[in-house]
Amino acid sequence: MKKILLTAFAIGSLTSVFAQAPTIIQKDPQIEGMVKEVSADSLQSYIHTLVSFGTRHTLSTQKEAKAGVGAARLWVLSKFNQFAKQSGGRLTAVIDSTTYQPDGKRVDNPINLGNVMATLKGTDPNDNRIFVISGHMDSRRSDVMDRAGVSPGANDDGSGTAAVIECARIMSKQAFPATIIFVAVTGEEQGLLGARYMAEKAKLEHRSCSEQRYCRQ
Protein backbone atom coordinates (compact mmCIF):
# COMPACT_ATOMS: atom_id res chain seq x y z
CA MET A 1 0.00 0.00 0.00
CA LYS A 2 2.88 2.34 0.89
CA LYS A 3 4.54 1.66 -2.49
CA ILE A 4 1.29 2.48 -4.32
CA LEU A 5 0.93 5.77 -2.42
CA LEU A 6 4.54 6.75 -3.20
CA THR A 7 4.02 5.95 -6.88
CA ALA A 8 0.81 8.01 -6.97
CA PHE A 9 2.59 10.88 -5.24
CA ALA A 10 5.45 10.75 -7.76
CA ILE A 11 3.07 10.77 -10.72
CA GLY A 12 1.11 13.64 -9.20
CA SER A 13 4.31 15.63 -8.64
CA LEU A 14 5.46 15.11 -12.24
CA THR A 15 2.02 16.12 -13.55
CA SER A 16 2.18 19.30 -11.46
CA VAL A 17 5.65 20.13 -12.79
CA PHE A 18 4.62 19.65 -16.43
CA ALA A 19 1.40 21.61 -15.90
CA GLN A 20 3.35 24.57 -14.56
CA ALA A 21 6.01 24.48 -17.28
CA PRO A 22 5.76 27.54 -19.55
CA THR A 23 4.26 26.98 -23.00
CA ILE A 24 6.60 28.08 -25.76
CA ILE A 25 4.76 29.46 -28.78
CA GLN A 26 6.72 29.81 -31.99
CA LYS A 27 5.11 32.70 -33.86
CA ASP A 28 5.49 33.05 -37.60
CA PRO A 29 6.98 36.55 -38.00
CA GLN A 30 5.19 37.14 -41.31
CA ILE A 31 1.79 36.27 -39.85
CA GLU A 32 2.49 38.24 -36.68
CA GLY A 33 3.41 41.29 -38.75
CA MET A 34 0.23 41.06 -40.83
CA VAL A 35 -1.97 40.71 -37.75
CA LYS A 36 -0.43 43.89 -36.33
CA GLU A 37 -1.38 45.73 -39.52
CA VAL A 38 -5.12 45.09 -39.09
CA SER A 39 -6.74 48.49 -38.59
CA ALA A 40 -9.99 48.98 -36.68
CA ASP A 41 -10.38 52.35 -38.39
CA SER A 42 -10.09 50.76 -41.83
CA LEU A 43 -12.63 48.08 -40.99
CA GLN A 44 -15.05 50.67 -39.65
CA SER A 45 -14.67 52.85 -42.75
CA TYR A 46 -15.35 49.89 -45.06
CA ILE A 47 -18.53 49.01 -43.17
CA HIS A 48 -19.73 52.62 -43.17
CA THR A 49 -19.26 52.84 -46.92
CA LEU A 50 -21.08 49.56 -47.53
CA VAL A 51 -23.98 50.75 -45.37
CA SER A 52 -24.11 54.03 -47.31
CA PHE A 53 -25.40 52.23 -50.43
CA GLY A 54 -28.78 51.86 -48.71
CA THR A 55 -29.29 48.29 -49.80
CA ARG A 56 -27.04 45.73 -51.40
CA HIS A 57 -29.88 43.37 -52.23
CA THR A 58 -28.94 41.15 -55.16
CA LEU A 59 -32.06 42.28 -57.06
CA SER A 60 -31.50 45.98 -56.31
CA THR A 61 -30.46 48.62 -58.83
CA GLN A 62 -27.25 48.30 -60.79
CA LYS A 63 -27.68 51.64 -62.55
CA GLU A 64 -27.19 54.08 -59.67
CA ALA A 65 -23.78 55.53 -58.82
CA LYS A 66 -24.26 55.63 -55.05
CA ALA A 67 -27.02 53.14 -54.29
CA GLY A 68 -27.69 49.45 -54.74
CA VAL A 69 -25.63 46.35 -55.30
CA GLY A 70 -24.15 47.62 -58.56
CA ALA A 71 -22.55 50.65 -56.92
CA ALA A 72 -21.36 48.52 -54.00
CA ARG A 73 -19.68 46.05 -56.33
CA LEU A 74 -17.84 48.82 -58.17
CA TRP A 75 -16.65 50.30 -54.87
CA VAL A 76 -15.25 46.95 -53.67
CA LEU A 77 -13.54 46.56 -57.06
CA SER A 78 -11.99 50.01 -56.68
CA LYS A 79 -10.53 49.01 -53.31
CA PHE A 80 -9.02 45.84 -54.76
CA ASN A 81 -7.55 47.83 -57.66
CA GLN A 82 -6.11 50.31 -55.17
CA PHE A 83 -4.35 47.49 -53.34
CA ALA A 84 -3.13 46.01 -56.63
CA LYS A 85 -0.78 48.99 -57.00
CA GLN A 86 1.22 47.79 -54.00
CA SER A 87 1.41 44.14 -55.07
CA GLY A 88 4.15 44.29 -57.66
CA GLY A 89 1.71 43.22 -60.35
CA ARG A 90 0.65 40.03 -58.57
CA LEU A 91 -2.87 41.18 -57.58
CA THR A 92 -5.55 41.52 -60.26
CA ALA A 93 -9.24 42.24 -59.72
CA VAL A 94 -12.44 41.75 -61.73
CA ILE A 95 -16.18 41.49 -61.34
CA ASP A 96 -16.87 37.93 -62.45
CA SER A 97 -20.47 38.00 -63.61
CA THR A 98 -23.11 35.94 -65.34
CA THR A 99 -26.75 36.42 -66.31
CA TYR A 100 -28.94 34.57 -63.85
CA GLN A 101 -32.44 33.75 -65.04
CA PRO A 102 -35.63 33.77 -62.90
CA ASP A 103 -35.76 30.59 -60.85
CA GLY A 104 -39.28 30.71 -59.43
CA LYS A 105 -37.81 31.02 -55.96
CA ARG A 106 -35.98 34.20 -54.95
CA VAL A 107 -35.16 35.66 -58.36
CA ASP A 108 -38.09 36.97 -60.39
CA ASN A 109 -36.26 38.80 -63.19
CA PRO A 110 -33.05 38.17 -65.15
CA ILE A 111 -30.17 39.72 -63.21
CA ASN A 112 -26.48 40.36 -63.64
CA LEU A 113 -25.02 38.22 -60.86
CA GLY A 114 -21.48 39.25 -60.07
CA ASN A 115 -18.77 38.39 -57.58
CA VAL A 116 -15.95 40.86 -56.96
CA MET A 117 -12.72 38.87 -57.07
CA ALA A 118 -9.10 39.78 -56.47
CA THR A 119 -6.47 37.14 -57.21
CA LEU A 120 -3.05 37.32 -55.58
CA LYS A 121 -0.83 35.11 -57.72
CA GLY A 122 1.44 32.71 -55.87
CA THR A 123 5.19 32.96 -56.35
CA ASP A 124 5.84 29.21 -56.75
CA PRO A 125 4.84 28.00 -60.24
CA ASN A 126 4.79 24.42 -58.94
CA ASP A 127 2.37 25.21 -56.13
CA ASN A 128 -1.17 24.59 -57.43
CA ARG A 129 -2.92 25.39 -54.15
CA ILE A 130 -5.57 28.11 -54.11
CA PHE A 131 -6.88 29.61 -50.87
CA VAL A 132 -10.16 31.54 -50.87
CA ILE A 133 -11.03 34.31 -48.41
CA SER A 134 -14.68 35.25 -48.86
CA GLY A 135 -17.68 37.07 -47.45
CA HIS A 136 -21.05 37.83 -48.99
CA MET A 137 -21.68 41.41 -50.01
CA ASP A 138 -25.46 41.34 -50.47
CA SER A 139 -27.97 42.26 -47.78
CA ARG A 140 -31.75 42.03 -47.35
CA ARG A 141 -34.71 42.94 -45.18
CA SER A 142 -37.08 40.41 -43.59
CA ASP A 143 -38.89 40.17 -46.92
CA VAL A 144 -36.30 38.42 -49.07
CA MET A 145 -37.80 39.95 -52.23
CA ASP A 146 -37.69 43.55 -50.95
CA ARG A 147 -35.06 44.99 -53.28
CA ALA A 148 -35.74 48.67 -52.60
CA GLY A 149 -36.15 49.07 -48.83
CA VAL A 150 -33.19 50.22 -46.76
CA SER A 151 -31.10 47.21 -45.82
CA PRO A 152 -27.76 48.38 -44.40
CA GLY A 153 -26.43 44.90 -43.59
CA ALA A 154 -23.60 46.22 -41.41
CA ASN A 155 -23.15 42.88 -39.68
CA ASP A 156 -24.73 40.50 -42.20
CA ASP A 157 -22.44 40.55 -43.98
CA GLY A 158 -20.87 43.98 -44.26
CA SER A 159 -18.49 42.96 -41.50
CA GLY A 160 -17.44 39.86 -43.44
CA THR A 161 -16.89 41.85 -46.63
CA ALA A 162 -14.87 44.41 -44.66
CA ALA A 163 -12.68 41.60 -43.34
CA VAL A 164 -12.06 40.36 -46.89
CA ILE A 165 -11.11 43.86 -48.04
CA GLU A 166 -8.77 44.35 -45.08
CA CYS A 167 -7.11 40.99 -45.72
CA ALA A 168 -6.55 42.03 -49.34
CA ARG A 169 -5.06 45.36 -48.25
CA ILE A 170 -2.56 43.72 -45.93
CA MET A 171 -1.76 40.50 -47.78
CA SER A 172 -1.34 42.09 -51.22
CA LYS A 173 1.97 43.52 -49.97
CA GLN A 174 3.25 40.05 -49.11
CA ALA A 175 4.50 37.13 -51.20
CA PHE A 176 3.08 33.63 -50.77
CA PRO A 177 3.95 30.44 -52.67
CA ALA A 178 0.26 29.58 -53.25
CA THR A 179 -2.44 31.71 -54.89
CA ILE A 180 -4.98 33.53 -52.73
CA ILE A 181 -8.38 34.71 -53.96
CA PHE A 182 -10.27 37.44 -52.10
CA VAL A 183 -13.92 37.49 -53.07
CA ALA A 184 -17.07 39.38 -52.12
CA VAL A 185 -19.90 37.20 -53.40
CA THR A 186 -23.46 38.27 -54.10
CA GLY A 187 -26.69 36.29 -54.17
CA GLU A 188 -26.10 34.69 -50.77
CA GLU A 189 -29.47 35.77 -49.40
CA GLN A 190 -31.20 34.57 -52.57
CA GLY A 191 -29.83 31.04 -52.19
CA LEU A 192 -26.01 31.06 -52.22
CA LEU A 193 -26.13 32.01 -55.90
CA GLY A 194 -22.78 33.78 -56.16
CA ALA A 195 -20.89 31.11 -54.24
CA ARG A 196 -22.50 28.36 -56.30
CA TYR A 197 -21.60 30.15 -59.54
CA MET A 198 -17.99 30.46 -58.38
CA ALA A 199 -17.79 26.81 -57.32
CA GLU A 200 -19.32 25.48 -60.55
CA LYS A 201 -17.02 27.64 -62.66
CA ALA A 202 -13.97 26.42 -60.73
CA LYS A 203 -15.10 22.82 -61.22
CA LEU A 204 -15.44 23.33 -64.98
CA GLU A 205 -12.03 24.99 -65.21
CA HIS A 206 -10.41 22.18 -63.24
CA ARG A 207 -12.02 19.58 -65.51
CA SER A 208 -10.81 21.45 -68.59
CA CYS A 209 -7.28 21.60 -67.20
CA SER A 210 -7.35 17.88 -66.42
CA GLU A 211 -8.55 16.99 -69.91
CA GLN A 212 -5.88 19.15 -71.54
CA ARG A 213 -3.27 18.02 -69.00
CA TYR A 214 -2.16 21.57 -68.36
CA CYS A 215 -3.51 24.85 -67.02
CA ARG A 216 -2.61 28.26 -68.29
CA GLN A 217 -0.77 30.36 -65.77
Tens digits of residue pLDDT in 111-155: 999 999 999 999 999 999 999 999 999 999 999 999 999 999 999
Round to whole Å and give the CA distance between 108 and 69: 16
**What is the residue extent of each domain of the chain?**
32-212
206 or 112, greater pLDDT: 112
pLDDT-derived band at 35 (thresholds 50, 70, 90) equals very high
Residue 210: pLDDT over 60: no
| 149-192 pLDDT per residue, tens | 999 999 999 999 999 999 999 999 999 999 999 999 999 999 99
Cα 15 to Cα 20, 155, 171, distances in angstroms: 9, 45, 42
CATH-assigned architecture of domain 32-212: 3-Layer(aba) Sandwich (3.40)
Residues of the chain with pLDDT > 90: what percent? 79
Round to whole Å and give the CA distance between 27 and 34: 12
Q: What angle do CA 4, 5, 8 make, to 5 degrees?
A: 85
Round to whole Å and give the CA distance between 88 and 122: 12
pLDDT value at residue 23: 80
pLDDT value at residue 84: 98
pTM of the model: 0.84
